[in-house]
A and B are shown apart, each in its own frame.
Chain A
Amino acid sequence: MTALLPRRGLAQILALIVILAVDRVVSPQFFDLRLQDGRLFGSLIDVLNRGTPVALLSLGMVLVIATRGIDLSVGAVMAICGAIAASLADSHGLPVVLAAALGAGLVCGLWNGFLVAVLGMQPIVATLILMVAGRGIAQLITEGRIVTFTSPDLVWLGNGAILGVPVPVAIALGMLILTGAVVRGSALGLLIEATGGNARASELAGVGTRAMILAVYVWCGVCAALAGVIAAADIMGADANNAGLWLELDAILAVVIGGTSLFGGRFSLILAVLGALIIQTMNTGILLSGYPPEFNLLVKAVVVLAVLLLQSPKLSGFAGIMARLRRTKP
């Protein structure tokens, strides 16, 4: 299916390969994999595992950005849902815990979607409210403490393995396939892109733009909830202050690296996830190289700027040349 992996993914794949090669130089054991206790271990698996929260966030974020929106609240939603999951984990079964956490994410998404689609607020502003208040709500749930739990079911969600693959990675893969099947298997993806391209024209053409916008924010909330549960399960606890802190920026960055324009109108799920992996591969590489992790921020800043300049409408001439070069190469 060409819609899932468009040709414009070439730059991202090349970037990932280059960063992987650099990582290999920095750390010779980078590609080593071993199977232990029925779970694969190794730096590559580590990249996938740690990249999961951002990958999940970027799955929701890419749809929101495709409608010309933005969701700043995903980090706070992660904190809320992680807090809910952690507080319920030891007293309730996994289905209840998951239902409560994902339900909370859904409600958060509905709130954001309501503000944007129904009240017509600017997305940055609308989601800023939950971003500010959300962490307070999460702290309210945990009563300011770091809530820990021992429920083996929830811990399995963060540290277990299915056929050797860590559960978080399996979940992210599942979500990618599910989201892809829903938006690209139907006309939904096209309608979302139409909404982002020109909401008014789409509305006149009969697209239910409000429903589309509401739906993408809800989906973004659910993805953030899942990321929050996994992050909590990973550390066997919920820290309302730090869970998902700044991850909204990583998610936006992943989407931008994936070539989805911030001006809406087109998106690629796979490339957004690839963007998340590129970010995580860089992070891991910097950690392995022994440089202080603080370099991450500088490197990210440079990458954002580079990608933005390539996307810039003013430089479309340059991008056009690149595209033509790419087209002549088979």
Chain B
Amino acid sequence: MKGLPPVLITAIVLVAGFAACAVQFPNIASTRVVGNLLTDNAFLGIVATGMTFVIISGGIDLSVGSVIGFTTVFVALAIERWGIPPLVAFVAVLALSAAFGAAMGAIIHVFDLPPFIVTLAGMFLARGASFLLSTESVPITAPVYSTVSDFALRMPGGGRLTAIAIIMLAIVIGGVLLLRLTRFGANVYALGGGRATASLMGVAVGKMTVKIYMLSSLLAGLAGIVFSFYTSAGYSLSAVGVELDSIAAVVIGGTLLTGGQGSVIGTFLGVLIQGMIQTYINFDGTLSSWWTKIATGVLLFAFIALQQGLVALARRPAAKRAGAVS
């Protein structure tokens, strides 16, 4: 089982962290808090699932936050100003974001450019496009929105499993199956292992690159729709910095940033860990929200250092040479 040890470590960190929180604030260990945690991080979970595929394939997608912002504005305007039925608006925006991702993937492959700079341009483009649509926050009052917001499965203990949390869980499960059980998933790992090798093994590298970025943008579009359900509004400045949160979630989840190894489950746990830190800070009340960033940074460092150590161990099992670590 590839990538299992890091995932186990992530799971242990999550459980230990949750236990520590629960000791200090017994109320944290309730389905209410867990339900809220899932709802608050639904869009992050969806977008991080897409990011997992990109990073395992050896790429990176910096445009996802902007795509979320664009989607919320587009959906809000389409429903409120242009009078398009919500479902049609959703399909249109998903098609748009998928095409956007496919274009980025095609540019990365055809012109052999670093993904990070191409998706950076994509990030500018999507954010700029959402600014062009509207710089104001557009409230959404369509009946679908209140219906979806009100819908929730009751969990024992009074917790609410909201519709957007269910969507997120479905995407995570779908992501796990897609990555583990299909040829597509195997090809993603192969690409991350080495493009030349993958190509020699018969993977259509170009097609795969296009598909992977398409998937990531499509999920970012879906995350945008979920985000608009979450806030009942479209705003061009929403989800700034989400690309970093989702990369952090993927890394904390044990996926190797160089590609070739990782799992969607790990990413999900990474999202939960970030949510847990936020919940703890809310419960504590005296800590400020910026501690979330510092804590995420520390975790990020710890997990990358751990990966680095594991990779180094795998490469040279001999005792470390002098001067390797100061």
Contacts and interface: CB of A to CB of B under 8 A. Distances in A.
Q: Which of A131, A136, A298 has the most CB of B within 10 A?
A: A136
B326 interface: yes
B125 interface: yes
A126 B122 CA distance: 23
B294 interface: yes
Interface residues on B, range: 35 or more
A125 B257 contact: yes
A313 interface: yes
Contacts of B291: 136
Contacts of B107: 305
Interface stretch (A10-18, A49-57, A113-121, A227-235): A113-121
A132 interface: yes
A185 interface: no
A299 B124 CA distance: 9
Contact of B297 (A132, A139, A240, A256): A132
B292 interface: yes
Interface string B127-147: 111011001000000000000
Contacts of A134: 297
A298 B128 CA distance: 5
A139 B287 CA distance: 12
B112 A312 contact: yes
Interface string A314-327: 11000000000000
A135 B291 CA distance: 10
B79 interface: no
A298 B125 contact: yes
Given A136-B292, A298-B132, A252 B258 contact: no
A144 B293 CA distance: 13
A287 interface: no
Contacts of B125: 297-298, 301-302
Contacts of B294: 133, 136-137, 140
User: Considering the complex of A and B, which 8 residue pairs feature the smallest CB-CB distances, nearest first?
Assistant: A133-B297, A136-B293, A294-B131, A297-B128, A298-B128, A139-B290, A301-B124, A136-B294
A300 B107 CA distance: 17
Nearest to B62: A249
17 contacts: A124-B60, A124-B116, A129-B300, A132-B296, A133-B294, A134-B297, A136-B292, A143-B288, A252-B117, A262-B114, A292-B131, A298-B124, A299-B128, A301-B122, A308-B113, A308-B121, A312-B112
Residue from the set A70, A125, A144 with the largest chain B CB neighbour count within 10 Å: A125
B89 interface: no
A146 interface: no
A130 interface: yes
Nearest to B245: A132
Interface in A233-277: 240, 249, 252, 256, 262-263
Contacts of A96: none
A296 to B, nearest CB: 7
B87 interface: no
A309 interface: yes
B121 A130 contact: no
Contacts of A130: 297
Contacts of A252: 117, 120
A159 B125 CA distance: 33
Contacts of B297: 129-130, 132-134, 136
A262 B108 CA distance: 14
A122 interface: yes
Interface of A: 70, 118-122, 124-126, 128-137, 139-140, 143-144, 240, 249, 252, 256, 262-263, 292, 294-302, 304-305, 308-309, 312-315
Given A140-B294, A297-B124, A313 B112 contact: yes
A90 B17 CA distance: 41
Nearest to A120: B308
B326 A118 contact: yes
Given A124-B60, A132-B244, A144 B290 contact: yes
Contacts of B298: 133
B121 A119 contact: no
A162 B284 CA distance: 51
A200 B116 CA distance: 24
B118 interface: yes
B129 A298 contact: yes
A302 B121 CA distance: 8
A137 B244 CA distance: 16
A256 B120 CA distance: 12
A300 B123 CA distance: 10
Contacts of A132: 244, 248, 293, 296-297, 300
A315 B107 CA distance: 12
B110 interface: yes
Contact of B304 (A118, A121, A313): A121
B4 interface: no
Contacts of A121: 304, 308
Nearest to B290: A139
Nearest to A133: B297
